[in-house]
Structure formats: structure tokens, C-alpha cells
């Protein structure tokens, strides 16, 4: 696992205390893309947290952006997010 993903996990864990978190590096799918040329990564995030209870998708995204802070401008070019409250997530899907 890359240092960048470990840092992302640590920041998200501290801010959102997720029950489940999975981060996949999809940078290889974007070779040649402007963000990839700059060394910033493309990631897919699935995160389940009680902190998302009753919050709309835009609020959940803002919570993730706030948790990741500067990484959004220094390390991450694109972040595809699937964010769930605990009662919305079925690990078997």
C-alpha cells in the first residue's frame, strides 16, 4: 500500500471514524491525463461512517474534502467517492 493511501486512510480515520474504508489507486487508468502528469493520483474511495447519518451527498463529500485537507491540492487529482451511513451499506453488494 502506498504512503499516500496510508496518509489518506489516517486522515479519514481521525476525522470520520469509519466502520469501513477502502481506497483504490486508479492512477494507472489515467496515464497521460493532466493530473497524472503532475504526479497527483486518481483514487476511488468507499467509506462507511455514522457521521454521514442524515446528511445529503454534498455534505458527505465536503466532510471528506475537509478531512483530506491539503492532500486535495497536493496529492489527489481526482477522487471518486461512494459514501454511506452505516444503515445504507451492504458489504455483500
Q: What is the DSSP string of 1-29?
A: --HHHHHHHHHHHHHH--SEEEEEE-GGG
Q: Give the start-to-end residue ranges of the domains of the chain.
A: 3-88
Q: What is the pTM of this model?
A: 0.87
Cell representation of residue 58? 454534498
CB 77 within 8 A of CB 40: yes
Other CB atoms closer than 10 Å to residue 43's CB: what's the count?
A: 21
Provide the pLDDT for residue 24. Answer: 96
Provide the pLDDT for residue 11. Answer: 98
Round the CA-based radius of gyration of the chain to a whole number and report it: 13
Write out the chain's pLDDT in tens, 93 residues: 689 999 999 999 999 999 999 999 998 775 666 555 566 789 999 999 999 999 999 999 999 999 999 999 999 989 999 999 999 987 655
Provide the pLDDT for residue 81. Answer: 98
3-88 under CATH 3.30.300.90, yes or no:
yes
Amino acid at each position: 500500500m502506498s504512503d499516500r493511501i496510508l496518509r489518506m486512510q489516517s486522515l479519514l480515520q481521525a476525522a470520520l471514524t469509519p466502520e469501513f474504508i477502502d481506497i483504490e489507486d486508479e492512477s494507472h487508468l489515467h496515464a497521460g491525463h493532466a493530473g497524472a502528469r503532475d504526479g497527483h493520483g486518481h483514487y476511488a474511495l468507499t467509506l462507511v461512517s455514522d457521521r454521514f447519518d442524515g446528511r445529503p451527498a454534498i455534505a458527505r463529500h465536503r466532510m471528506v474534502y475537509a478531512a483530506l485537507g491539503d492532500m486535495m491540492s497536493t496529492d489527489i487529482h481526482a477522487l471518486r467517492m461512494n459514501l454511506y451511513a452505516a444503515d445504507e451499506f451492504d458489504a455483500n453488494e
